[in-house]
Amino acid sequence: MDNTILIGAIIMGVGLIIQAVTARWSWKLGGYYKSSNKPLSFFGWCLIIVGVIIVVLKAKANGQLD
């Protein structure tokens, strides 16, 4: 595994952990997701997106996604 892909996966994992920590479920009308800390949740989403972009771009550059 390439180190850049590993770094992207770690960044994405940190974002997922942040999302799991800030998650709160509301059970009105079948349940939906709410965040207990909106700025931290936004930062978590940004980390997830950046991690996915790093992984996909590096895999594309390596020729793994043709």
pLDDT digits (tens, 9 = 90+) for 43-58: 999 999 999 999 999 9
CA distance 25 to 40: 16
Distance (Å) of CA 26 to CA 8, 29, 44, 49: 31, 9, 20, 25
Pairing mode, if any, of strands 32-35 and 23-26? antiparallel
Q: Which helix (H) or strand (E) holds 25?
A: strand 23-26
pLDDT in tens, 4-26: 999 999 999 999 999 999 988 77
* Structure confidence at residue 30 (pLDDT): 66
**Is the model's pLDDT at 3 over the cut of 70?**
yes
Enumerate helices (H) and strands (E) in the chain, giving the number of each. 2, 2
